[in-house]
Copies of this chain bind each other. A is one copy, B any other.
């Protein structure tokens, strides 16, 4: 069910004149429109348009040139840093490949697919080396999954997110095509004492992570295509791992090595980095799953309110533990909650759209969304999360995001 209820339709209907008046749109009179051509004929109708872009890869309209990835460079290593998906300008659940977030620790390698090799060795019956042609011949799957950096929304620990892009932009969603890792492991033959897989990338950082064998056999993919086309260079071309629902750095890009072992490798990426400093001075390690989260993307700092009357609150929700079961929305700072509509298809470990009709009459309002996944887990508030994990942490922030709407329609983050 994705159409509005009769009640909200009637409410919207009564608002029509106000929309036109406020937005500068003209609600034409019956007389004016009785003529055949009440519209001004715009200049682009009067001349032939641009030629077909034959032989070129298509690009967005020049009017959308500000919808790009932005973020932070990390000068400790050339090419390293992260740039974010502009969710405050997007609609739907698929992230176009050209806007998928980038997180790199050693820049983007220019891998020649004809030269690329994947090795599987260690505790296996038969070590193997694969070309890309070999990999593509295996039985294939296509799955829509989100991919999220464990540092996504990390500004929330300091409660200072500025925009949806800068707070929630280390998150993207694609249709991924490749082969189940279990198929490849089956081919090599996993030894009974192999309980971890150490995966290594071909980038200059040589990023490597230890993955429990159970996740490898459950739903991990070796991916070579994203949104129908070959993986993008910054997303791991020509081959990457994808661990649905787990922190993004484990989905090793440009993957070249899979080593089966009886112990985790304790690499710098799971000791010096990607661990969580707790209030008692200890660190949480191997915190793999990205827990349930949601964010309102409209209205949002990128999308202020420009008129009173009917509107639709829209957002996205996701969980590394499965499907989203329910999203509630509050427009009064969390005192009252209404259940939002979830839009089909609600897929496993994928972005789910939610919407809720709302009448805004110009009053200041504090809006927020709260996701629940199919395990029953409920997205916490900032206070609840900080009470357990403190504020020295950099990763796995997943608290409710409040947006303050001012009387003039401007939207900002507030402490709540």
Contact = CB atoms under 8 A, between A and B. Distances in A.
Interface string A1-27: 011100011001100100110011111
Contacts of A25: 117, 129-131, 133-134
A129 B26 contact: yes
B183 A128 contact: no
Interface stretch (A63-71, A146-154, A276-284, A363-371): A63-71
Nearest to A48: B78
Interface in A327-370: 343, 345, 347, 353, 355, 357
A165 B405 CA distance: 49
Report which residue of A8, A52, A71 has the largest number of chain B beta carbons within 10 angstroms of its beta carbon: A52
Contact of A107 (B51, B128, B206): B51
Contacts of A174: 94
Given A202-B44, A237-B61, A133 B23 contact: yes
Contacts of A109: 44-45, 49-50
Contacts of A353: 142
A150 to B, nearest CB: 18
A390 interface: no
A82 B53 CA distance: 10
Given A227-B92, A257-B39, A12 B187 contact: yes
How many copies of the polypeptide does the oligomer hold?
2
A3 B139 contact: yes
Interface string A254-295: 001100000000000000000000000000000000000000
Contacts of A95: 228
Interface string A114-128: 011101010000111
A187 B13 contact: yes
A378 interface: no
A96 B227 contact: yes
Contacts of A70: 54-55
B99 A38 contact: no
A383 interface: no
Interface string A48-90: 1111111111111111100111110100011101110000011
B186 A9 contact: yes
Contacts of A54: 68-71, 73, 81, 83
B133 A306 contact: yes
A218 to B, nearest CB: 11
Interface string A302-316: 000011001110100
Contact of A27 (B19, B47, B94, B129): B129
B180 A127 contact: no
Contact of A42 (B89, B115, B176, B306): B115
Given A99-B58, A175-B94, A83 B52 contact: yes
A180 B3 contact: yes
Listed from nearest, the 10 A-B pairs whose CB atoms lie closest are A49-B107, A33-B127, A44-B109, A4-B139, A58-B98, A25-B131, A48-B78, A33-B121, A91-B225, A2-B141
20 contacts: A8-B139, A9-B183, A12-B187, A19-B137, A25-B130, A26-B117, A27-B129, A33-B119, A44-B202, A48-B106, A52-B79, A52-B234, A57-B98, A58-B98, A58-B99, A90-B228, A90-B229, A94-B228, A137-B307, A138-B312
Given A2-B142, A52-B102, A89-B229, 4 more contacts: A27-B129, A58-B99, A60-B97, A67-B230
Interface of A: 2-4, 8-9, 12-13, 16, 19-20, 23-30, 32-34, 38-40, 42, 44-64, 67-71, 73, 77-79, 81-83, 89-100, 102, 104, 106-113, 115-117, 119, 121, 126-131, 133-134, 137-143, 173-177, 180, 182-183, 186-187, 202-204, 206, 224-225, 227-234, 237-238, 256-257, 306-307, 310-312, 314, 343, 345, 347, 353, 355, 357
